[in-house]
Amino acid sequence: MNPSCNLFIVGSTGAGKTSIGRRLAAHYGLCFVDLDQEIEQHCGVSVTTVFEIEGEAGFRQRESALLDECSRRQGVVLATGAGAVLDPRNRQCLTERGYVIWLQASIEQQLERLAHDTRRPLLAGEDRRAKLEAMAQARAPLYRELADLAIPGEHEGVSTASTRSIALIDQHWQRQHVAASELTHDHRD
């Protein structure tokens, strides 16, 4: 059961948006789109290179343009970049065009998962913990605002996390479907 023609995944860096998103797409029979990969294909260079040449502002402009384009598609699971929620227009696109899933991850989980990752420009340099904490403080309220469903992070592998996510999505969607059916039934009486 698919709760929407589109599933949009938001969450912090290292939350599993790409890994779990691929499995959700396969389960629901949808096309998988990773926004950072779309940016790289469109630009012909890595996200890191876009940051080096254009800075964060240039990257965010490209991100917004492609998020608008990708969120207009039908039948996609879209894994957004962690900071895509910072732009109010992006938040509007996500809430109006699909079912938004917030994959949560603690700072400890992020540090563990990103320990050997050198591809994320905003985490370059010293004190990753402080950077992740600052990002979480700014972004968590936005994720919360957008989310149709928040999926708590657990210490588990991608397969188990994906299975748990599918069960939570289906359960949430079924509750919404039943509530909508009851409202329709009540109005007919």
Q: What is the pLDDT of residues 37-57, one digit of tens each?
A: 999 999 999 998 998 899 999
Four-point Cα dihedral 71, 72, 73, 77, nearest 10: 20
19 annotated as belonging to a binding site for a ligand? yes
Q: Which ranges constitute the DSSP H helices of 44-157?
A: 47-72, 88-97, 107-113, 128-146
Band (pLDDT 50/70/90 cuts) for residue 187 is low
Q: What is the pLDDT of residue 1?
A: 40
Where along the chain do its domains lie?
Answer: 6-188
pLDDT confidence bin for 2, thresholds 50/70/90: very low
Q: Identify the weakest region by mean pLDDT among 101-105, 125-129, 143-147, 181-185.
A: 181-185
Residues 90, 143 contacting (CB under 8 angstroms): no
Which CATH number, 3.40.718.10, 3.40.50.300, 2.60.120.200, 3.30.43.10, labels domain 6-188? 3.40.50.300
Annotated binding residue 14: yes
Please give the model's pTM, rounded to 2 decimal places: 0.86
Asked whether residue 16 is marked as a ligand-binding residue, the answer is yes
Q: Are 11 and 143 in contact (CB under 8 A)?
A: yes
Sign of the C-alpha dihedral computed for residues 60, 63, 67 and 68 taken in this order: positive
Question: Is 153 flagged in the annotation as binding?
Answer: no
Tell which wins on pLDDT, 143 or 4: 143
Given a cut of 70, whether residue 4 has pLDDT beyond it is no
Tell me the C-alpha distance between 64 and 93, whole Å.
10
83 is in an annotated binding site: no
* Mean of the per-residue pLDDT values of the chain: 88
Tokens of 157: 């592998």
131 is in an annotated binding site: no
Q: Which two tokens stand for residue 170?
A: 């289906």
Q: Between vectors from CA 112 to CA 24 and to CA 123, what angle results, nearest 5°?
A: 90
Check pLDDT > 90 for residue 11.
yes
Lowest mean pLDDT among 79-83, 106-110, 172-176: 172-176
Report, as an integer, the average pLDDT of 126-147: 92
How confident is residue 179, by pLDDT bands cut at 50, 70 and 90? low
